[in-house]
Copies of this chain bind each other. A is one copy, B any other.
Amino acid sequence: MNFNTWMEEKIKKTEEYLSNFVEVKDNPQKLIYEAMNYSLLSGGKRLRPVLLLGTYEMFREDDEAAMPFACAIEMIHTYSLIHDDLPAMDNDDYRRGRLSNHKKFGEAAAVLAGDGLLNKAFETGLKAALEYNIGTERAVKALLEIARSSGSDGMIGGQVVDMFGHEKISTVEDLKYMYSLKTGAIIKSSVIAGAILGGADEKELNALEIFAEKTGLAFQIEDDLLDVTGTIEKLGKATGSDEANNKITYLTFATIQEAKNEVSSLTAEAIKSLDVFGEKSVRLSELAGYLTSRDH
Contact flags A71-109 to B (C-beta < 8 A → 1, else 0): 000000001100100101100000000000000001111
Q: Does A123 contact B (CB under 8 A)?
A: yes
Contact flags A155-168 to B (C-beta < 8 A → 1, else 0): 01111110111001
In the complex, A107 Cα to B90 Cα: how many Å?
Answer: 12
Q: Are A156 and B119 in contact (CB under 8 A)?
A: yes
Q: Are B123 and A160 in contact (CB under 8 A)?
A: no
From A90, which residue of chain B is reached at the shortest CB distance? Answer: B108
Give the distance to chain B from A160, nearest Cβ to Cβ, in Å: 4
Residues of B within 8 A of A143 (CB): 122, 126
Select A116's contact among B107, B123, B156, beta carbons within 8 Å: B156
Give the distance to chain B from A104, nearest Cβ to Cβ, in Å: 14
Select A111's contact among B83, B130, B174, B177, beta carbons within 8 Å: B83
Interface residues of A toward B: which range?
35 or more
Interface of chain A: mostly helix, strand, loop or mixed? helix
Give the distance to chain B from A157, nearest Cβ to Cβ, in Å: 4
Residues of B within 8 A of A212 (CB): none
A-side residues, CB < 8 A to B, are 22, 27-29, 31-33, 36, 79-80, 83, 86, 88-89, 106-109, 111-112, 114-116, 118-120, 122-123, 126-127, 129-130, 136-137, 140-141, 143-144, 147-148, 150-153, 156-161, 163-165, 168-169, 174, 177-178, 181
